[in-house]
Structure formats: C-alpha cells, structure tokens
Structure 1
Amino acid sequence: MVTRRDALKLSLGAGLSLAMPGALLAQAAQSPMLTRVIPSSGQRIPVVGLGSSATFSKTAGENASALHEVLRTLVEQGGAVFDTAPSYGASEEVAGRAVQDLGIADRVFWATKVNVAGRGADAKADPAQARAQIETSFSRLGRDTIDLIQVHNLGDVPTQLGILKELKADKRVRYTGVTSTSKPAYPQLIEIMRNEPLDFIGVDYAIDNRDVEETILPLAAERGIGVLVYAPFGRTRLWERVGDRKVPDWASEFDAATWGQFFLKFVLSHPAVTSVTPATSRASNLVDNLTAGRGRLPDAEQRRRMIAFIEELPAAT
C-alpha cells in the first residue's frame, strides 16, 4: 500500500515532500484560504479543516503531545474546522486539552457529535445518557458554546436531535445536524433533510464515491443545509489506487500539485460542499491538505477529466 508519505514524495507538482516542509509552507502562503458560507447563518468558514478519526485517533491514544503541532498548524495555516466525536477514542479529549494549552480554543470551529443509541435502525437513545455525553464534550473543550453538534450515524434522530434543538435554543450550540457515511442509510438521511431544520449534514464523498451527488448534495443546496465531507481519500483507497503514479501535468490548471490536493479539490469543486475534514496526525500532511483550499478549483469539464483519469486506473483491492 502506498502511504501518504510515499504519495507526497512521488508527487510531481512543485516537488513537495515531507523532507521539504518549507516548500509546503511557501506554497500554502501564495494565496488565501477559500471560505464558504454556512447557509443558515451567513458565517464563512474555511473550506478545508481537520478530522480526528483514523490516524489522529490512534495517535491521540498513544502520543497526545504529537497532536499539538497538528492543531497549531490548523489555525496558523488558515484552517478552523475541527471535526471529532466521542466515539473517536481519545481524539475529542486530547484535542480539547491541546487547544486550551495552545491558547487557540477560540480560533477553532469545533464540530463534534452525539450518539448513545445502539446499532440498528430501531435503536433508541437514553436522553439522560445523550445529555451526559454532550456535557462531557463541553467540559473537554472548556467552552460555554460549541459551534456544531451533529447526531452521529443517524442514531435515534428524534430523541438526540430534539436535545440538540433545545441546546441551540439555549444558545449553547450554534449549529445542529446529522451525519451518515452509510449508503443504505441515505434514504433516511434524505427524509430527515426534507423534514428537519438542519444547519449541517456530514457525509462521505470522494472522486470515486459520488453517490451523494445524485440527491443529497442538490437537496442540501435547495434546503440551505451546510455540508461537511468525510473520507475524501476513501480512507486509504485512493492512495492505493494511484500508487506511484505522478499527478497529471494538467492538474496545474486548478493549482493541484499533489494527489492530496487533487482529491480534495475535486470534492471542494462541488458548490454544495461547505468544508472537507480529512483526518491526519502529521502537520506536513495537514499543510498539504489545507493548500487544496487555496487557488483555483476545477470547473465542470476538469471534474469530468479527473473522474475519467481515476476510473481508468485499476480499483484498489
């Protein structure tokens, strides 16, 4: 499997690599981070943020101090959105402590989740447990207000979204929403989008995983719902698919110098997407990700060319 480290070293573009962090920073400084409007409020947030599942979660459980540099880099390089969840191991707790230690808590757009329901469409959440989980998130961040809390994996939405609505009315939570990264659950997600006053949804979307383009993203645009994108690299699937290939020369037309930027710019070029939050535990990877939120984005014809290029490659096994 080709790792992110290998992929960066093999990228053509501007010769970026983890051995040349200065080059990464120089490219990142060339233009400002793009922002998009949260439809329900008009607030603008950076289009690239940071997720905390996968390697971030693993590192949080093993070497929490290593993540201070990642979170510092997030805000110093123009990012703000940090997506986490109580179910991501030590991620929420470690990140909350880190941003307070660094004095940057107020510069982070904190997006967390709630779900105490068991598995299955009929699983129910105990309201007291849900409230306790939410209060734990407040204590971990050390703030009176959390920017966004979403119902994780559509867990007992009537109960848990109801609690979030109360917290929003009390101005303890600024935005509410629901998440799903399961295609079989998309019909339920669509129904909720049509019937609930959501500020955000969180979904999986990647250049080789475009199911949400059919109904979910257009509906989000129609209903004025912000969209956070998860798994823009297909977790590790896209890295495996491109292998040791070079980024095509024509990617420079939309300022993509690495595969990470290529994949992220595709996602960001959909106008319904508000922000994408790829997870990483390396500051250099984060700088590369954030650079995808600068410069030009692919147009419709370039998007088609990107899709065709990836589809011609053998699928990861």
Structure 2
Amino acid sequence: MVTRRDALKLSLGAGLSLALPGTLFAATPAPMLTRPIPSSGQRIPTVGLGSSATFSSTARDDASALNAVLRTLIDEGGAVFDTAPSYGASEEVAGKAVQDLGIADRVFWATKVNVAGREADAKADPAAARAQIEASFSRLGRDTIDLIQVHNLGDIPTQLGILKELKAEKRVRYIGVTSTSKPAYPKLIKTMRSEPLDFIGVDYAVDNRDVEETILPLAAERGIGVLVYAPFGRTRLWQRVGERELPDWAAEFDATTWGQFFLKFVLSHPAVTCATPATSRASNLIDNLGAGRGRLPDNAQRERMASLIEALPAAS
C-alpha cells in the first residue's frame, strides 16, 4: 500500500533525480492553474495554504518550519495564504516570516475579522473590530491587505460595514464573509444576495457537497469568488481512505495521491476560485499544490469520485 508519505517520497525523489546535472532532461512541472477573481479579473492560483489548527499550533514551537512552508508556497507557484486573528500566532509569525524571506509582496493575504463571537445575534463592538483589523495590518506588515472577511458571519451590519469603508479607502482590496456551519447557510445565502461581496469562504469536500445546491451556483450568478476550507474534511477523508491505494483511473485527471484526488474534486467545480488546505509541512504543501496542475475531472469523473468515497465507511 502506498501512503501519502510514501507517494511524496517517490515523487520528490523522481523530481530531484530528473533535475540532477547530466541527466537527459530536467523536471518541468506543469504550470499552476489560476482562476480570476470575479469582481476584478485578477487571477490567483487555485491552491493556497490555510493556517487553521496546524499552522497556529506549530507557530509557537517551530517558526523555521513555517518559514520553509511559506517559502515553498511561493517557490512552487502558490500565493494565497488564509489566516485569522483567532488562529493563534499565525498572523504574527507568517507576517514576520515573509518579511524576513523577502516575499511579502508575493503573498495574497486573506485574513478575517470577528469580535462578535459565534452566537447568531451577538453584536460586535465597532472599536474592538477596528482594533482587531489594525492589529492584522501591524502583524502582516502591510499597508494594504488583499482580502478581509467577516469570520463566521459575525454581526454583518457592523463588521462588513467597516470592511466596506476600508475597501473604499483602498486599504483592503477585497471583502467577504465566511461560514463553515451548515445551520448558518441560510444567513450566508441572504448575505450573498444582499451585500456587495468579493469572496465567500465555505467548507466543501467530496463527501460534503451541500454548498453545491445553492451557495456555489449563487456565487457564480452574483460574481463572488469562493475560497474553499476543509477540502479534506479536516482529517475525515484521510480516515475514510486509510491505507487504500489510489484507483488507477485517478491518472485520467493527473492525480497521483489521495490529497490531489480530494483537492481536484473541489477545484473542478467552476465556481471555486481557490482551495486553502491547512498544513505546516512543506512536503504536504508540495503535494497539495500538485492538485493545481494538469487536468481536472469532468462531471462524470466527479460523480465516480464521489461514489467511491461514499462507498467507504464514514470516519468515526
């Protein structure tokens, strides 16, 4: 059985051997797929880097490892880094890392604001929201942030209102909202219909397809970009496939690992702009970015992929 770790060793080893002097040819990876942000036409790579959980915990202990991850993101054709003030030390460590590495202007920064908490009717203190945003500017070392979204749909009138002001002032280029809670989808849909959003951030995976029903079609209709969170179902999909081998037919859309299989399913939906799986390992990031190269599955292949996963036992 070939695990993700084994597959990475094989693929990285092959790539290094092809690039060695004196060999017949050098490895030339396929270019990274990009998609336009609907509201502007700016193109961004389809695979980025998330920092929830893994990145925030590692940041406290091993900044050098995260420097390597961010360097890899840029070197391998990525750009989008998704973070939030609630992700531990993520903003601070990442901001310092890219400045030290000299790559700050090559990162597409996507962060968030929410001082209202998760309660549906909780109100945000405008002063606290502005202070949180200013802290993000300071941590990231930026005069302009690419994208700030209202995290978990917290007090949309107050917090999105502030983001609209910042966009008008050209301190923020794009604004949006996020939700990874199914009960909150009606509120998300209402916000998408009524507010001038550049982006939404939602959970979407081969075994979690509820957003296909209304949210993704509405995003396409309204010209809203989509960042996908939890494309691996956090760890759920890894538990479902276990040590099973990747099916041979995954080669039809250039997936060489389960990680690429899961990501290519998500990226093959035309409404998706970018997927941002979280990792604190450069080797996993290289694998993830590979999903943004080569062919993507067509509709028939997507259904075959979903049927395969549905037939496996659900993660406990």
The answer, yes or no, to whether TM exceeds 0.5 is yes
Match runs of 1:131-280 below 5 Å: 131-280=130-279
Distance 1:29 1:250, change over 3 A: same
Instruction: State whether structure 2 residue 107 is matched by structure 1 residue 88.
Output: no
Secondary structure of 1:112's counterpart equals: strand
Instruction: Tell me the percent identity.
Output: 81
- Matches of 1:83 and 1:28, distance apart in 2: 29
* Partners of 2:81 and 2:109 within 8 A in 1: yes
Q: Give the deviation of 1:61 after TM superposition.
A: 1.8
Q: Label 1:109 to 1:314 Cα distance change in 2 as closer, same or farther (>3 A).
A: same
Q: CA 1:28/1:268 → structure 2, altered by over 3 Å: closer, same or farther?
A: farther
Partner Cα distance (2:247, 2:226) in 1: 29
Match of residue 9 from structure 1? 5
Cα shift at 1:219: 0.1
| Cα pair distance change 1:296/1:28, threshold 3 Å | farther
3-state SS in 2 of match to 1:65: helix
What TM-score results when the alignment is normalised by the length of structure 1?
0.94
Gaps in structure 2 of 5+ consecutive residues? 19-25
1:313 aligns with 2:309: no
Question: Structure 2 vs 1, CA of residues 143 and 57 (structure 1 numbering), >3 Å: closer, same or farther?
Answer: same
The one-character-per-residue Cα deviations of 1:215-243 (angstroms, maximum 9, x if unpaired) are 00000000000000000000000000000
Residue in 2 that maps onto 1:117: 116
**Secondary structure of the corresponding residue to residue 147 of structure 2:** strand
Confirm whether residue 21 of structure 1 aligns to residue 12 of structure 2: yes
Q: Is the 1:48–1:277 Cα contact (8 Å) retained in structure 2? A: yes
Q: Which ranges of 4 or more aligned residues in structure 1 deviate by more than 6 Å?
A: 25-28
Is contact 1:24–1:288 with CA below 8 Å preserved after alignment?
Answer: no
- Alpha-carbon offset, residue 118 of structure 1: 2.7
Between the aligned partners of 1:110 and 1:118, the Cα distance in structure 2 is 22
Q: Tell whether the 8 Å contact from 1:7 to 1:244 is kept in structure 2 after alignment.
A: yes
Q: Which of 17-26 and 54-63 deviates more?
A: 17-26
Contact 1:254–1:296 at 8 Å: present in 2 too?
yes
Q: Is the 8 A contact 2:227 2:275 kept in 1?
A: yes
The residue type paired with residue 4 of structure 2 is L
**Could you tell me how far apart the structure 2 residues matched to 1:33 and 1:60 are?**
27
CA distance in 2, matches of 1:29, 1:257: 16
CA contact (8 A) 2:226 2:271 kept: yes
Match in the other structure for 1:66: 65
Note the residue ranges of structure 1 that are not aligned, 5 or more in a row: 1-5, 11-15
- The amino acid that maps onto 1:98 is A
Q: TM-score, normalised by structure 2?
A: 0.95
Worse overlay, 56-65 or 223-232: 56-65
Q: Which amino acid aligns with 2:3?
A: A
Could you say what the CA RMSD is over the residues aligned between the two structures, in angstroms? 1.6
SS in structure 1 opposite 2:217?
helix
- Residues 42-72 of structure 1: CA deviation (Å, up to 9, x unaligned): 0000000000012111101221221000000
- Residue 112 of structure 1 deviates from its aligned partner by 0.1
User: Residue in 2 aligned with 1:283?
Assistant: 282
How far has the Cα of 1:24 moved from its partner? 5.8
How far does residue 28 in structure 1 lie from its aligned partner after superposition? 8.4
Residue 83 of structure 2 contacts residue 111 of structure 2 at CA under 8 Å; is this kept in 1? yes
Return the alpha-carbon distance in structure 2 between the equivalents of residues 238 and 50 of structure 1: 18
Q: Is the contact made by 2:109 and 2:147 (CA closer than 8 Å) also made in structure 1?
A: yes
* C-alpha contact 1:145 1:174 (8 A) present in aligned 2: yes
What are the superposed Cα offsets for residues 89-143 of structure 1, whole Å, 9 maximum, x if unpaired?
0111100010000000000000000000033111000000000000010011111
Q: Give the 3-state SS of the residue equivalent to 1:202 in structure 2.
A: strand
Q: Please tell me the residue identity of whatever aligns with 1:101.
A: D
Q: Is contact 2:118–2:152 with CA below 8 Å preserved after alignment?
A: no
Query: What residue number does 2:46 align with?
Result: 47
In 1, are the aligned partners of 2:8 and 2:287 still within 8 Å (CA)? no
- Which amino acid is the alignment partner of residue 59 of structure 2? A
d(CA) in 2 for partners of 1:287, 1:209 = 24
Q: SS state of the match for residue 144, structure 1? A: coil
User: Contact 1:111 / 1:149 at 8 angstroms: preserved in 2?
Assistant: yes
Asked whether the 8 Å contact 1:57–1:88 carries over to 2, the reply is yes
The Cα of 1:23 is off from its aligned counterpart by 3.4
- How many residue pairs were aligned? 308
Q: Which residue of 2 aligns with 1:108?
A: 107
